[in-house]
Homo-oligomer: A and B are copies of this chain.
Amino acid sequence: MATRGRPRTFDPDTALRQALDLFWERGYEGTSLNDLAQAMGIASASIYACFGSKEDLFRKVMALYGTTSGEPPRRALREQPTARAAIHAMLRATADEITRPDTPHYCMLILAAPTGAVENHAVREFLAGLRRDMHTTIKDRLARGVTDGDLIAPPAGLDAIARFYTTVVQGLSIQARDGAGRTELEAVITCAMAAWDTLTSVPSHQVH
């Protein structure tokens, strides 16, 4: 069916991008609908007509975020030939993303709504779910390394190692938020990768 009636005068993708920028900077609760309407260049009535509620809009924003800023780390995991290289490249891609000069210095998924008013519990849990996916994705990549033969099933356990690197990724966001630069993040990544060989080899002696 062809589009009847008056076509949209604003581009929903552009508007969504503008909403993303604002949510990114101020978090979910810190952003009001009026702020959004102003930034998107449309009336709040149009926001409701096109995107639904504030929460609906935010969920769409997060989908866009995942396919843009979230993509480089995910691609690193996917395309690097070994599990080790994949983890290292993912950490670096993350550091690159959260120190870009044109965007806030942190991962939106992690800091947009960690706590808040009771009525926004659903939003927080939505984000928590996405964060848990991070852990799963990393763990799957490690498992692939075992399948591929570049990683010997480590004694520490895939789950623990995946959780460790997830923790580092999430900690990096706080570091960048608090002013750490790309160089400082790289130093943290180097430290995190120093654990790799110990974690993925058969223990010759027990550590404490």
Contact = CB atoms under 8 A, between A and B. Distances in A.
B171 A159 contact: no
Interface string A83-109: 000001000000000000000101000
Contact of A179 (B128, B179, B184, B199): B128
A191 B160 contact: yes
Interface residues of A, number: 55
A54 B162 CA distance: 40
Nearest to A128: B178
B117 A114 contact: no
Tallying the copies of this chain within the complex gives: 2
A194 interface: yes
A114 B111 contact: yes
A25 to B, nearest CB: 7
B194 A199 contact: yes
Interface of A: 25-27, 29-31, 88, 104, 106, 110-112, 114-118, 120, 128, 131-132, 156-157, 159-161, 163-164, 166-172, 174-175, 177-180, 184, 187-188, 190-195, 197-199, 207-208
